[in-house]
Amino acid sequence: MRPLLHFTAESGWINDPHGITYIDGQYHAFFQYVPGKTVWAPNCHWGHAVGADLLSLRELPVAIAPGEGDGGIWTGSLVRTDDGAARIFYTSTSEPNIGIGRIRVATPLDDDWIAWRKGDVVADAPDELDIIAYRDPFVRRDGDRWRMFVGAGLRDGTATALSYVSDDLESWRYEGIALARSTDETEPVWMGALWECPQILEVDGRSVMVSSIWDDDVLHHAGYAIGDEENGVFAAETWGRLTYGDSYYAPSLFFDADGRPCLLFWMRGIGGASDGWASAHSLPHVLSLRDGQVWTTPHEDLLGHRGPRSVDGTTPRPMADIEWDAGGDGQLEITVGGVPAASLRIEGAEVAVTVGGVTTTVPAAGDLRIVIDGPVLEVSTGVALFGARLTVDDAQLTTNATAGTLRVYPLA
C-alpha cells in the first residue's frame, strides 16, 4: 500500500526532507531524490513538492540536479531575505570522497521556485580540523547577520556542528566549532561520531540542537541538546534522545504557517523495489520544551484530514488517527483484516510498542497519539517518537484497549 498522507514520490527513492518553507498560503517541501531507483545512490537531486498543508503535497519537477561540478546534490536548507529573495544552500558532493562535501548556493529563476540557478561554493571543510565527513548546512538569521551550521565528523570520533557567519549570504567566514561531543560519551544518551543535519533553533526561549546520529556508515536515531547559543557557540546543558524504532532519520526543522518550530523526518523502510517507490516523510510535529525535555505533538493540520469519530473503534481502511488516554497501565491491540498489526503496552513511564514481533521500549509522558497510514505507523508519547513500517492489507482496522479512553478517527 501507499500512504495516504505521508509524502512519497510518484517513483524513485527519497530521503532527507529539507528547505521546508511556508509562503503565500502553501508549503514548499524539498527532499533528497534519486529518480529511477528504489535504493539510495550518491547522485542525489533536490526534489520539490507543494501543498496547502504538509499532508497534501503535490510533487513538482526536480529543483536542482547533478552537473555543473556537482556529482550529487545533498541536504541543505532554504532561507529568505527581508525582501523575499530565496537562497538554497546545499551540499555539493563529488567522487571519490563523497563524505566530505562543499557548501554551494542556488537562487530561483521564477516566482514558483521551479527552476534554480547554481552559484558559487561558499564554504569548504576547514583545513585546521582532521575531518572525515562534512555536509548538511543549516542557515538562519542571527540578529542582523546570517548563521550557518554544518555537520562534521572528526577522525577521533568527535561529532561536531561547525559555525559560519555572513553579512550578505554571499561571503561566509568560518568561526569555529559550535558544539561537539565524543562518540565515547554514552550518558545520558549516545550521540554518535557524526551529526547529520545538525540544526539549531530557539524553542520556548532556549536553544535546541536537533540532529541525526551516524556512526561508521550506520544510521541510528535522532537526538538533541538543550542549552544556550550565542555568537555561534552552543553551551549544552541537557542531552536527549528523540526517536525510537528503525524508521526515523534526518529531522528537518522549520517554521509552520503560525511561526512555530516544527520537525519533519525521513521514514526509512517504507515502499521498495516491488512498489517502484521507496521511503516516505513523516507527519509534521510541533516542538516545545517541558520539564527540561523536547516535547513533540503531531501538527494540527492532521485534524483536517480526520473523518467523524468511529463509534466502535474501527475504520474501513488501515488509515486512522488514534488518541489513547490509558489513565495508567494498559494494553492496546490493533489489527487489520483480523491480522495483528501493532500492540502497545503502557507500564509506568514507558510504552512497549510491538510491530512484526519486535518490541521497542519508548519513554512516555502523556497521552499517546497513534497514527496508522497504510504501511506507516507513528506513535507520539510526548517526550519521544516511534516510527515503523507496517505490513498490512487494504482492510478494516480494529482497535481494542484494556484501559482508559480510546478515540479513533478514520483518515481521508
- As annotated, the active-site residues are 16
C-alpha cell at position 386: 516511534
Q: Hey, what's the cell of 371?
A: 497514527
Q: Is the peptide bond before 188 cis (omega within 30 degrees of 0)?
A: yes
Task: Return the bridge partners of 140, or none.
Answer: 147
CA 245 vs CA 21, 63, 82, 313, 354: distances in Å? 28, 31, 40, 26, 10
Alpha-carbon torsion (402, 295, 370, 250), positive or negative: negative
Phi, psi of 288 (to 5 degrees): -155, 170
Say how far apart CA 168 and CA 146 lie, in whole Å.
7
Cell numbers representing residue 307 in the block: 473523518
Closest CA to 80 of 103, 46, 113: 113
Task: Determine contact, residues 66/73, Cβ cutoff 8 Å.
Answer: yes
Q: Are 323 and 332 in contact (CB under 8 A)?
A: no
String of DSSP letters for 331-351: EEEEEETTEEEEEEEEETTEE
Assess contact for 34 and 43: CB atoms under 8 A: yes
Closest of 237, 153, 242 to residue 192, by C-alpha: 153
What's the CA gap between 394 and 340, in Å, rounded?
A: 14
In DSSP notation, 163-174 reads: EEEESSSSS-EE
Radius of gyration for the chain, computed over Cα atoms and rounded to the nearest angstrom: 21
How far, in Å, CA of 175 to CA of 341, rounded? 50
